[in-house]
Structure 1
Amino acid sequence: MIPASPRFRRRLPTLFAVVAGLLLGLCATARAADFTHEESDLPADESVRYGKLPNGLRYALMPNTEPRERTALRLLVETGSLQETEDQLGLAHFLEHMAFNGSEHYPPGTLIEFFQRMGMNFGADTNAFTSFDRTVYMIDLPDSTEQHLNEGLLVFRDYAGGMLLLDEEIEKERGIILSEKRTRDSVQWRSFLAELNFFYGDTRIANRLPIGEADVLSSAPRAEFADYYDTWYRPDRMTVVAVGDFDIDLVERLITEQFSDLTARGPARLDPPADTAPDADGVKVLYHHEPEAGNVTVGIQISTPYTEEPDTAATRIQDLPRDLALAMLNRRLSELAKQEGAPFSSGSASAGSFYKVADSASIELRTLPDQWPAALTVAENELRRALQYGFQEPELREVIAGMRNGLEQSVRRAPTRRSSGLAMSILSAVADDNVFTTPQTNYDLFMPALDMVSIEACNAAFRELWNVDHRYVTVIGNTGTEQTDAPEGKVRELFAAAQAAPVEAPPEIEEAAFAYTDFGPSGEVYSREYVEDLDLTLVEFANRVRLNVKKTDFSAQSISMSIRVGTGQLSEPIDQPGLGVYTSNTFTLGGLGKHSADDLRRILAGKNVGVGFGVQSDAFVLSGGTTPDDLLLQLQLAAAYLVDPGFRPEADRQMRKAIAQYYTQLAHNPQGPLQTEVPRLLANGDSRFGLPPQEVLDQRNLTEARSWLMSEFAQGSIEIGIVGDLDVDATIEAVAQTFGALATRGPKPHYAERREVSFPDEPFTRDYAVPTEIPKGIIALFWPTTDGMDVQVDRRLRVLANVLGDRLRLKIREELGGSYSPNAGSSTSDTFPGYGSLSASIVVDPAEAQNLAQVTRDLADDLAENGTNADELERAVLPILTGLKESARTNGYWLGAVLASCQEFPQRLDWARSRYSDNESITVEEISALAAKYLHDDQAFQVISLPEK
């Protein structure tokens, strides 16, 4: 499902289901200092150079070498939707779009193409967002040459003071903005609006959502855009942040040259007055019925007026006991959700501030429609149990161990932090009046505090947090049959009954030691080969376990691994459809034979270990990340899952709760058929593709999963890939002690018949009508291609998809305003010979679906008939080359594309050698030939999924 908005994601207490990570405090009208660290006792990171131009524009510059040669540029404008007038609702965000539609140095329609020719992807390398209190522009340059640094800053200079705001461009963009508003609409979004109005309905924030109002977006004249731009885009409200592999003196000089002449174009206005939380007492109830939701969220929340505090050492640690108590409550909720008969699937407790309007705390549980009354009782009882009886020493030791480990790892990994993340952290610190500190400073601050914190202090802080005379009680989601007869009254009655029920002290926690450290005598190395040009080592042990290792310096103290076992979906029983989906979603939830999942969490607290599991098309895959110190423990844990998985009943219970909620959500979402039925139809009915019908998945069970997996785990082939900050010899020895000590592995069966998958002989058209009130639909088109085993063809299909995607952007987004983000892609299988596709996916106004589907088909057919050209090819390939260069210094690339299976597929070594030069050599003729082969209109499979109404 498409998220509500990239600007509405972070969840603070109950209210903020889809609020973005950047919905933070109001802009101050004046600052006592240029930067917060100038008045704080917290030491600022000395590697950041701060400065301010005479016109008031500030900058923060930080040299950083990952990724090599690249630079992350950010422009912060401290203005957002809160500064809008009633006639400008949505124009702060609209203005962000207009920055790309014509400026002093970049005429309309040229900026995105300019970025592409620099080797940048629109969206990935250049983007922007608007929030309540800020607008942020982002550019990740492909290199740090003076030319590109100057060009990137020139683009920012145009954003800051050179937008043209042409009438014709505003008119063209209206459709895109309204399409984005439509794309953001969802059950989650509507639930968020209900909560926002419940808690803060009379405040400015509740009436200044960045996406705006449709009537303003449709008709606001240019004068309103210009008024907002000239008033609020002022140098004294701007900060340029640059982090990258650059000469800091050069960047400072370029900023001075580009921005010193920037001036305000209109008179200043005062920021709107800060909102304050309303006074509360007693019990207040919100009951919001969303029949299309997959679940119900019940919550208990408190809210008090926001307290402004400076960012100092004392304020950073003052809430430590409270936060540790909340972490302990979260662990309790996780354990309770797994118990038989638990009326909820997951839960969380949190505390924080909302926009400098309120300080709040909450506990919330997610549940199935018919179980919300019982879940509300559990929420009240568990909150009261914690308040009445407090927490236990073993619980505190666990959460402290986790926090200590996080602080330690942050220090160790600091040298290889990536520039884009650092740039956003610095920007957020500037905008929120915080100090950007080093991981070492945080370590030095919190470690002594953790040494001193006590269980008594945590219990006292938790009680103080909830010591208010009111409760907000919320019930939001698919509550079953809609309650029309005073549902708020029913909620009050249930809550009062829960409050009256006695609660007992929680049972004492029993502690245990990890039971899986001995797998027998270490395995002997049968063969070892060093591949010099790729700097990796290939090992085979006497038991035929294969290991591929590469030492890197890309990410300090970080190791990633993949363990491929057996044959995956190739051996899925034909008479047990959906078993792969079921097993993927239950396996790790069952823990191990001697430890439940919760036992493992306690035993391994403070360690950098964990195991993920998935059933892939040709292998079962165990995955994980760790550190050099914990590498052996990580391998022991992974091996334990292979020899003694738990298959505990709580895994089945959790999975069934989650999947029921998910299927309910899919049933009311146009995306649903594209995840369930359509993949299977495109594979000629093969049950391994797409999600199975819920009634089919309901038939699967742990007994079937155990029978399938254990036969594969006992003797199936094993290939392990490990990459990161490691010692090669020590890694080989650790694998020898674990996987090398297992029983001898057999050869991997080929399953030739199970590899036969194909598209239907004749293209089809499918229309779906989905029961939903949300007015948006989805168009999906598929053109069959081939598999990914000929890497040259695979790479060129990706380029062809980029060309098609760019044509969709130009036609459907820019010219027609028909969709916010049309996209195209190539998917090729390395398991099923000849199976792959090019696809296009577009979220649309339902009334325009048929027309835009035909437009898409016509664009593809024209590409098939007439081919591409040199300019399109350049703009498609250069961003790929930038991505290849950067990915070569990531553990993720080496593990996923090379090490995970390079002994089973030795050609992956040559693919790694040729990927840059081969992509660089792609020609217009090659792409045109592939288009002519695959993209003709009579080869297209079409799916349109729309609301029933």
Structure 2
Amino acid sequence: MTRKKIFNVFLGVFLWCLPLLGIAQTTADKELKTSAQLKNNAKIPVDPDVKVGKLENGLTYYIRNNGKPEDKVELRLVVNAGSILENEKQLGLAHFMEHMNFNGTKNFKKNDLVDYLQTIGVKFGADLNAYTSFDQTVYILPIPSDDPEKLEKGFQIIEDWAHNAELTEEGIDDERGVVLEEYRIGKGADERMLKQYLPIIAYNSKYSERLPIGTKEVLENFKYEDVRSFYKDWYRPDLMAVVAVGDLDVATLEKKIKDHFGGIKMPKNPPKREVFDTPNHEETLIAVASDKEASNSIVRIMYKDKELSTPMSNENDYRNQLIKSIFSQMMNNRLDELRNTPNPPFVFAFSSHSGTFARNRKAYQSFAMTPETGQLNALKVILQENKRVQEYGFKQGELERAKKDIVARWEKQFKDRDKRESGRIVGEYINNFLVQEPIPGIEWEYKYTMEQLPTITLKEANSLIKNFIHDDNRAVVMTGPEKEGLKKVTKEEILSLLEEVKNAPIEDYKDKKVRENLLEKVPTPGKIVSSDYNKELDATTLTLNNGAKIIYKKTDFKNDEILFSAFSYGGSSLFSTEDYLQIAHGLGSIAQTGLGGLSLNDMNKVMAGKIARVRPYISSLSEGFNGSTTPKDLETLFQQVHLYFTDVNKDEKAFRSDQAKTKGFLANYLSNPQNYFREEFGKFQFGKNPRYIGFPTAEKLDATNYDLAYQKYKERFAGAGGFNFYFVGNIDEEKLKSYAEKYIGSLPDTGKEETYKTSDFRPLSGAHEKTIYKGTDPKSMVNIIWRGETPYNKSESLSIAALGEILSIKLIEKLREEEGGVYGVGARGNMYKIGPSGGYSGYRFSISFPCGPENVKKLTDAAIAEVKKVIKDGPTAKDLAKIKESRLLDYKESSKQNSFWLSNLQNADYNKIPFESKESYTEAVEKLTIKDIQDVAKKYVDAGYILGVLMPEKK
């Protein structure tokens, strides 16, 4: 479990719990408006680059010409209707209706829509998609803009979604199974606990009764007319917007919208589109929910605003929002400092004044992921920090650092304003339609922000909390595991804690000053001894005096982005098994102790206003770095790299603090049946490896030999010789050369010619089965894996990857559309020249899907039957053509991204294979034949497979 995965899991929980439903003004804003400084009440303008219009039937549209990516337009159909508008017979049908729009319309019969889009390179799920929430339904369609016929078809599709859904009885019944499988996937601890606390955070409101997925009873038994009625009532022009952003002129897009949507009739006497609220309440509402399968401990406290919010409309509103952004930045900086202390009170914490389920109600909210026994303590710490700000306010140094960070983020956005992808722009217009979020454009926002930030005072920021914090409209939610020996927090304990913190004295925050620079002493520069320019790749390789190589490619894909990575062969393969087993679970924490005598908290202060991220790693076969920065902060990135080589702090307390956060997150990770299945199935395949370390339990983390881990880290980063450093982006070549000499060339060369050690261990292959029982819900998971050792072959590598994509299409058609037995299914194949852990070449092919326990055998057999069809007959010419089109479109778009070049430049060197040019890749894809696919299927996927199945526990 990597640190990135830990953060992403928490972020998913946080974002799911905190719908950001728009920017609005509330009581706190009105207080701020009384400031004498605020005299300008001018309206926030609309970005001149977007054309906003409304058809006679009431449909709104947003159009913008945007050339990145080229030859592509992003289309959205936005419906201002979601599950909140369902009646009791329609629970779940707003979401069901979303599904039905992919299952047959006037111009695209059942399955024709997805089939057609695949032929033009648009992938179902990855590109073509939709989502339904409480208050809205949004359909997503990227379409090529350089072909008039494809463009016309694209607009015909979104028009059909708006008013031409067929909703046949057969189609509705066929889709019940798919939606019920999606409902099944959502079952589990989180869903069970949500049912306990949703009535608290959505107190006395319709939101507590209208989860978009609906109920099993309704989904199984609703009448055909129930979904047809929802479509008729709420899919209408006055509740719809069309957004079109992409590489096409505005006039053409506007004509398409008028031609396709102008003729839709507004129904007579339509039902009123009500707006729903969450009412005020005087008492503190508390929910404490636990579950035996809960994998995380979460604390949430919210103070709902007493008054309803209204959309931002003028410059004063915007300035008030800036003040709240500064407030949140300062508060979260304090919480981040606390998480980096010994015995941290939480794994992660975050506070903001932001949206609730209801569009017109905002709240000051704090979230924390905590150790399983630390929920009350985490709540106490959050309450204390709020009280500390209430009594003493923030400090001037905190304000200045927060402003620096905000300026840096805005400068980056502003510099890249002409390089934004269309898919990143459409969201602004969706929010403008749904919640009247302003759309003044980056130029206006940047200019106004830069003008106003210097005028914002500490007093203004400190004044916010008096309206944020109050005893009424307050709710506390705690969710976590339920197990023997773990005492459950009570409502009485929470209420007592609230009073205790309220009445207890508290000390002021001390803002410790730190030095301004990361490096205290500038190193003596080395020298570039050679420079080699590769014309085909437009990349340069610099060799330094110590043997390090700097490979860089200057691009114009982004104006304010430089991506970075580095590697050297060796990694943990060079550690003895005895040493490795003592330190494996601690290698990721070595670099979390700070640099050059600066703690993590000190570093965060030094880095205020700078955008430079560097993360070192030691993997099985290599060590290196990943990172990113801006042209302005490139030197800071080089300085960090230099310090990671020369001056990582030796601080066991900081090391144990980082491991404490890991323990807090992972304590109940395996309580989740899916997590348990992945761990146990992995053990089944890899457990006989003498270097297998398994899951990082608290006992294993505590047993980590810190001194040895630090020693081994220093060994792997003892010198720069043998390292390749990669930089891709808007590079000033002379500055990069200067920094390379100063910060990389100054590093020692160990003089060792090192590579990795190839392992003798080989993971499980051939025919094996493993059934793992975990969980109480009727949910299963099926994993089918073929793997083996084989020499790397470039053409076969492409063929086996294409086989995976083709089988994904066939499995969706068979298991989802025909059988109605899965919500999602996929296949994936790859070959590797240097395996991720053993250093040998091989292949892996897999199929995976969740389903009902009763369908495991039937669907597994059906999946294998699809494999056998390809082995016997090869893929169809049509399916192969779909994959070719999709791959060439993906390459066209991804090759205009810095990440593409960074990964491919490094991978070519790492695997010692030629870099594949656009011409060679295009030629290889175009030459791909049915026989090529059939041959790799016969060679690699016809032998026995490893079958792993998750089944619920036997009762």
Same fold (TM over 0.5): yes
Match for residue 706 of structure 1 among 699, 707, 710: 710
Q: Which residue of 1 aligns with 2:34?
A: none
* AA aligned opposite 2:52: Y
C-alpha distance in 2, partners of 1:204/1:24? 22
Deviation of the 1:430 alpha carbon? 2.0
Are the aligned partners of 1:758 and 1:835 in contact in 2 as well (CA < 8 Å)?
A: no
Q: Which residue of 2 aligns with 1:784?
A: 787
In structure 2, the CA distance between the partners of 1:745 and 1:150, relative to structure 1 (3 Å rule), is farther
Aligned length: 925
Q: Which residue of 2 aligns with 1:318?
A: 320
Are the aligned partners of 1:717 and 1:746 in contact in 2 as well (CA < 8 Å)?
A: no
C-alpha distance in 1, partners of 2:663/2:773? 21
Is residue 869 from structure 1 mapped to residue 868 from structure 2 by the alignment? no
In structure 2, the CA distance between the partners of 1:664 and 1:916, relative to structure 1 (3 Å rule), is farther
Q: Which residue of 1 aligns with 2:863?
A: 856
Q: In structure 2, the residue corresponding to 1:474 is in which secondary structure?
A: strand
C-alpha distance in 2, partners of 1:239/1:10? 33
Is residue 729 from structure 1 mapped to residue 734 from structure 2 by the alignment? yes
Superposition TM-score, scaled by structure 1 size: 0.92
Deviation of the 1:572 alpha carbon? 4.3
- Give the unaligned 5+ runs of structure 2: 2-7, 25-40
Q: Which residue of 2 aligns with 1:390?
A: 393
Match for residue 638 of structure 2 among 635, 639, 654: 635
Deviation of the 1:935 alpha carbon? 1.8
After superposition, the C-alpha distances for 1:374-400 in whole angstroms (9 at most, x for unaligned) are 333323222222212221111111111
Identity of aligned residues (%): 25
C-alpha distance in 1, partners of 2:560/2:933? 42
After superposition, the C-alpha distances for 1:884-943 in whole angstroms (9 at most, x for unaligned) are 111110001000111x2544555242466522221221100000011111222x511000
C-alpha distance in 2, partners of 1:748/1:884? 36
Are the aligned partners of 2:548 and 2:722 in contact in 1 as well (CA < 8 Å)?
A: yes
Are the aligned partners of 1:591 and 1:597 in contact in 2 as well (CA < 8 Å)?
A: yes
Tell me which moved more, 170-179 or 692-701.
692-701
Deviation of the 1:42 alpha carbon? 1.4
Match for residue 915 of structure 1 among 907, 915, 921: 921
Q: In structure 2, the residue corresponding to 1:880 is in which secondary structure?
A: helix
Are the aligned partners of 1:585 and 1:655 in contact in 2 as well (CA < 8 Å)?
A: no
C-alpha distance in 2, partners of 1:517/1:534? 38
Is residue 893 from structure 1 mapped to residue 900 from structure 2 by the alignment? yes
- Give the unaligned 5+ runs of structure 1: 2-7, 26-38
Are the aligned partners of 1:231 and 1:266 in contact in 2 as well (CA < 8 Å)?
A: no
C-alpha distance in 1, partners of 2:290/2:903? 43
Deviation of the 1:576 alpha carbon? 4.2
Q: Which residue of 2 aligns with 1:928?
A: 934
Q: In structure 2, the residue corresponding to 1:263 is in which secondary structure?
A: coil
C-alpha distance in 1, partners of 2:20/2:690? 39
C-alpha distance in 1, partners of 2:658/2:778? 31
Q: Which residue of 2 aligns with 1:809?
A: 812
Q: Which residue of 2 aligns with 1:4?
A: none
Are the aligned partners of 1:50 and 1:59 in contact in 2 as well (CA < 8 Å)?
A: yes
Are the aligned partners of 2:204 and 2:279 in contact in 1 as well (CA < 8 Å)?
A: no
* AA aligned opposite 1:845: G
Deviation of the 1:866 alpha carbon? 3.1
C-alpha distance in 2, partners of 1:621/1:654? 24
Match for residue 336 of structure 2 among 334, 337, 343: 334
Q: Which residue of 1 aligns with 2:403?
A: 400
In structure 2, the CA distance between the partners of 1:656 and 1:894, relative to structure 1 (3 Å rule), is same
Match for residue 746 of structure 2 among 741, 744, 747: 741
Q: Which residue of 2 aligns with 1:29?
A: none
In structure 2, the CA distance between the partners of 1:617 and 1:611, relative to structure 1 (3 Å rule), is same
After superposition, the C-alpha distances for 1:667-694 in whole angstroms (9 at most, x for unaligned) are 2223224543433543473366785452
* AA aligned opposite 1:933: K
Q: In structure 2, the residue corresponding to 1:271 is in which secondary structure?
A: coil
After superposition, the C-alpha distances for 1:46-65 in whole angstroms (9 at most, x for unaligned) are 11122222222222111111
* AA aligned opposite 2:197: E
* AA aligned opposite 1:678: F
Tell me which moved more, 626-635 or 608-617.
608-617
- C-alpha RMSD over aligned residues: 2.8
Superposition TM-score, scaled by structure 2 size: 0.91
C-alpha distance in 2, partners of 1:437/1:572? 57
Equivalent positions of 1:439-478 (< 5 A) are 439-469=442-472, 471-478=474-481
Tell me which moved more, 182-191 or 617-626.
182-191
C-alpha distance in 1, partners of 2:725/2:583? 21
Q: In structure 1, the residue corresponding to 2:429 is in which secondary structure?
A: helix
Match for residue 205 of structure 2 among 199, 203, 211: 203
* AA aligned opposite 1:843: P
Match for residue 185 of structure 2 among 171, 178, 183: 183
Tell me which moved more, 357-366 or 387-396.
357-366
Tell me which moved more, 757-766 or 412-421.
757-766
Q: Which residue of 1 aligns with 2:725?
A: 720
Is residue 943 from structure 1 mapped to residue 944 from structure 2 by the alignment? no
After superposition, the C-alpha distances for 1:546-598 in whole angstroms (9 at most, x for unaligned) are 11111111111111111213422432442245678634531442111311111
Deviation of the 1:88 alpha carbon? 0.9
Match for residue 884 of structure 1 among 883, 891, 896: 891
Tell me which moved more, 581-590 or 735-744.
581-590
Tell me which moved more, 104-113 or 353-362.
353-362
After superposition, the C-alpha distances for 1:159-211 in whole angstroms (9 at most, x for unaligned) are 11111111111111111101111212343344444332113242111111111
C-alpha distance in 1, partners of 2:819/2:457? 62
Q: In structure 2, the residue corresponding to 1:610 is in which secondary structure?
A: strand
Q: Which residue of 2 aligns with 1:835?
A: 842
Q: In structure 2, the residue corresponding to 1:836 is in which secondary structure?
A: strand
Match for residue 360 of structure 1 among 336, 360, 363: 363
Equivalent positions of 1:16-31 (< 5 A) are 17-20=16-19
In structure 2, the CA distance between the partners of 1:732 and 1:359, relative to structure 1 (3 Å rule), is same
After superposition, the C-alpha distances for 1:453-478 in whole angstroms (9 at most, x for unaligned) are 22222222223321455643332212
Q: Which residue of 2 aligns with 1:289?
A: 290
Are the aligned partners of 2:526 and 2:544 in contact in 1 as well (CA < 8 Å)?
A: yes
Deviation of the 1:294 alpha carbon? 3.0
After superposition, the C-alpha distances for 1:468-492 in whole angstroms (9 at most, x for unaligned) are 5564333221265589999222332
C-alpha distance in 1, partners of 2:772/2:23? 40
C-alpha distance in 2, partners of 1:80/1:690? 47
Equivalent positions of 1:137-148 (< 5 A) are 137-148=139-150
Are the aligned partners of 2:162 and 2:236 in contact in 1 as well (CA < 8 Å)?
A: yes
Deviation of the 1:661 alpha carbon? 4.2
Q: In structure 2, the residue corresponding to 1:144 is in which secondary structure?
A: coil
Deviation of the 1:526 alpha carbon? 2.1
Are the aligned partners of 1:519 and 1:741 in contact in 2 as well (CA < 8 Å)?
A: no
C-alpha distance in 1, partners of 2:298/2:93? 33
Are the aligned partners of 1:786 and 1:837 in contact in 2 as well (CA < 8 Å)?
A: no
Equivalent positions of 1:129-528 (< 5 A) are 129-264=131-266, 267-281=269-283, 283-303=284-304, 304-354=306-356, 355-469=358-472, 471-478=474-481, 481=484, 487-516=490-519, 518=521, 520-528=523-531
Q: In structure 1, the residue corresponding to 2:389 is in which secondary structure?
A: helix
After superposition, the C-alpha distances for 1:79-137 in whole angstroms (9 at most, x for unaligned) are 11122111111111111111111111111121111111011111121111111121111
C-alpha distance in 1, partners of 2:487/2:689? 45
Are the aligned partners of 1:782 and 1:942 in contact in 2 as well (CA < 8 Å)?
A: yes
In structure 2, the CA distance between the partners of 1:17 and 1:61, relative to structure 1 (3 Å rule), is closer
Deviation of the 1:139 alpha carbon? 1.0
C-alpha distance in 2, partners of 1:407/1:454? 19
Are the aligned partners of 1:347 and 1:366 in contact in 2 as well (CA < 8 Å)?
A: yes
* AA aligned opposite 2:300: G
C-alpha distance in 2, partners of 1:718/1:763? 41
C-alpha distance in 1, partners of 2:62/2:743? 48
* AA aligned opposite 2:149: Q
C-alpha distance in 2, partners of 1:139/1:690? 44
Deviation of the 1:788 alpha carbon? 8.6
Are the aligned partners of 1:766 and 1:943 in contact in 2 as well (CA < 8 Å)?
A: yes
Deviation of the 1:498 alpha carbon? 3.8
C-alpha distance in 2, partners of 1:324/1:700? 40
Are the aligned partners of 1:125 and 1:141 in contact in 2 as well (CA < 8 Å)?
A: no
